[in-house]
Amino acid sequence: MKLKQAGFSAILTMFIASGLAFISFYNILPVNSTVLLFSRWLAIATLILYGIKKGSLTTWILISMVVGAEIGHDYPTIAMNLQVLSKVFLKMIKVIVAPLLFATLVFGIAGHADLKQVGRMGWKSILYFEVVTTLALFIGLVAINISQAGAGITAPPGLHEELPSVPPQTWTEIILHIFPENIAKSVAEGQILQIVVFSIIFGIALAMVREDKRMPMLQFTESLAEVMFKFTNVVMYFAPIGVGAAIAYTVGHMGLGILLNLFQLLATLYVALFVFLLAVLLPIALIVGVPVRKFLQAIADPVSIAFATTSSEAALPKAMENLEKMGVPRKIVAFVMPTGYSFNLDGTTLYLALASIFVSQAAGINLTLSQQLVIVFTLMLTSKGVAGVPRASLVILLGTASSFGMPTWPIFIILGIDELMDMARTSVNVIGNCLATIVIAKWEGEFHPDQPVAEVIELKESDALKTKSMSSNLVSSS
C-alpha cells in the first residue's frame, strides 16, 4: 500500500468512527458499543499503517496522542499505570537541558569573543520579550472580562481540602532568585535562569583569557554541545511512547467528559491564545519576514512534545536543534531560547492574567481596572522561570491570591482542568520563544534560512584551516 492510499484509508476510517460516535452520542440511532470500539481501533490501525509509510517522528507523535487518548478512554486502569513511561521520557529530556545550555552558551559567547554582540542581543531580547508579554497580558484581561467565566460560581459545599500555603515573594527574593549560589544545586533543581546567568558569566570570563588557555575549554564545550544534540536525537526515538503515555494517563485520570466541564473557562483561554497567535505572533512573523511554512515545520515536533508533556523544558532541546537547522546561528539560539524560557512566557502570562481575574470573579470580588493592572504586572515579575515545571503556574496563582487577599477555593475549580489548559499555554510558550529567536537573529542580520548554519560553520572552518595551512607553509619555506 502506498503513502497516499494509507492516508486515504486513515481519513476514511476516522470519518466512519467519528460519524458512529456522533450518532451514538446524540441517540440518533442505536449503535452497539462493540461496533463503536471496533471502528475506533480500526481507525487507529490505519493511522499506524500511515505512520509506518510516512516514517516521520512528528507523525508518530501525533498518532501516539490519538492512541493514548483511546487507551485512556477504553482502559483507564491500564492507562493510569502508563504514567511511568511519560515520567521516564521527561526525566531523559530534563537531563539534557543543563549541559546543553552550558555548552551552547559558553561556546556561543567565548567562541566569537564579541561581547558587544552579547550585550546587544541582551537588550534586544528583553525589549522584545516585554512588549510581547505585555500584549499577552492585555489579551488575557480583555478575554476574561468579556466572557465573565468566573461570575456566578459558588463555593462547593463541604470543601475541606487545603492547598499548600505559598508566601508572597518580595522584590529582593525575586531578584536573588535569578543568581545561582551553587551551580550544582541550580542544575539539580532545574533553575534554567540561574544556569543561563552562570553560563553567560563563564563564557565572558573564558573570552577574556589567553587563547592557549581558552581553546581547550572551547573545544570541550563545542564537543559537549554536539554530543548533547545527538543525545537528544536518541531520546526522541522514545518520544511517541512517552507522549502517548502522558495523554493516556490524562484521559484515564480525568476522562474525556472533563472537556464538558468548565467549558467556558477552557474556551476563554483557548480563544484568547488563538487570538494572541493570530493578532500578535503572526503579524510579527510576517513583518520580520519569517518563512512561515519552514517555521511551522521546524516547531511541529517541539510543540507536539510541549502539548503532551505540559513542560516547555521538554521541548527545549529539539526546538534549539530545529532552529539551528532552519538557519539561526547557534550563538543566538543558545542565548535567546533559554533566556526566553524565563522572560518570554507568552502563554503562561496570558493564562495567569486570565486565571487571577477568574478567581476574583468566582469569589465575588469586583476589581477595578487599576487593581487588575496591578495584579497582572505583578504576575509579570513573579512568573519568571516557571517554564521548566509542569503546572508550576498554579504555585504562582496561589501566591497571587495570597498577596491580594483573594480566597483559594476557586483555584480548586481550575485545578480540575489545569492540565488541559497547561497543554495550550505551554505550546504557545514554545511557539513564542521559537519566533523570538528568529526575530533576534533577523535583527542581528544573521538569519540564513536558505543555508543551514552547520554548512556556514563548516565552510568557515575549512577556509580557516586552509589559511592556517598556507601561512604555516610560508613560514616553513622562509
* Confidence grade of residue 47 (pLDDT, cut at 50, 70, 90): very high
323-374 pLDDT, tens digit per residue, is 988 888 888 888 888 778 767 888 888 988 888 888 888 888 888 888 888 8
* Confidence grade of residue 264 (pLDDT, cut at 50, 70, 90): confident
* Confidence grade of residue 160 (pLDDT, cut at 50, 70, 90): very low
Listed residue (452, 64, 412) closest to 248, CA to CA: 64
Which pLDDT score, from 0 to 100, does residue 219 have? 92
Lowest mean pLDDT among 1-5, 39-43, 165-169, 291-295: 165-169
Which pLDDT score, from 0 to 100, does residue 39 have? 92
* Confidence grade of residue 382 (pLDDT, cut at 50, 70, 90): low
Task: Please say if the pLDDT value at position 431 is more than 90.
Answer: yes
CB of 452 closer than 8 Å to CB of 327? yes
Measured between alpha carbons, how far apart are the two ends of the chain, in Å? 69
Which pLDDT score, from 0 to 100, does residue 216 have? 93
> Distance (Å, rounded) from C-alpha 214 to C-alpha 191?
27
Which pLDDT score, from 0 to 100, does residue 259 have? 44
Which pLDDT score, from 0 to 100, does residue 174 have? 67
* Confidence grade of residue 386 (pLDDT, cut at 50, 70, 90): low
Lowest mean pLDDT among 238-242, 311-315, 382-386, 424-428: 382-386
385: left (phi over 0), alpha (psi -120 to 50) or beta: left
With a CB cutoff of 8 Å and minimum separation 6, the contacts of 437 are 323, 328, 332, 333, 336, 337, 340
Which pLDDT score, from 0 to 100, does residue 305 have? 86
Which pLDDT score, from 0 to 100, does residue 466 have? 43
Neighbours of 5 (CB within 10 A): 12
Which pLDDT score, from 0 to 100, does residue 260 have? 46
Task: Please say if the pLDDT value at position 9 is more than 50.
Answer: yes
Lowest mean pLDDT among 37-46, 50-59, 195-204, 383-392: 383-392
Q: If you average pLDDT over residues 39-65, what whole number do you get? A: 87
Angle at 345 between CA 344 and CA 348, to 5 degrees: 160
Which pLDDT score, from 0 to 100, does residue 167 have? 55
Task: Please say if the pLDDT value at position 388 is more than 50.
Answer: no
Q: Over pLDDT 90: what percentage of the chain?
A: 17
70-126 pLDDT, tens digit per residue, is 898 888 889 888 888 888 887 887 788 788 878 877 887 787 656 677 778 888 888
Q: If you average pLDDT over residues 60-72, what whole number do you get? A: 86
Task: Please say if the pLDDT value at position 226 is more than 90.
Answer: no
**246-to-47, 60, 64, 68, 411 alpha-carbon distances in Å:** 19, 14, 10, 7, 23
Q: If you average pLDDT over residues 372-379, what whole number do you get? A: 79
Lowest mean pLDDT among 37-46, 118-127, 406-415, 464-473: 464-473
Task: Please say if the pLDDT value at position 456 is more than 50.
Answer: no
Q: If you average pLDDT over residues 269-296, what whole number do you get? A: 92
Question: 286: which 3 cell numbers?
Answer: 510576517
**Residue 404 φ/ψ, nearest 5 degrees:** -105, 15
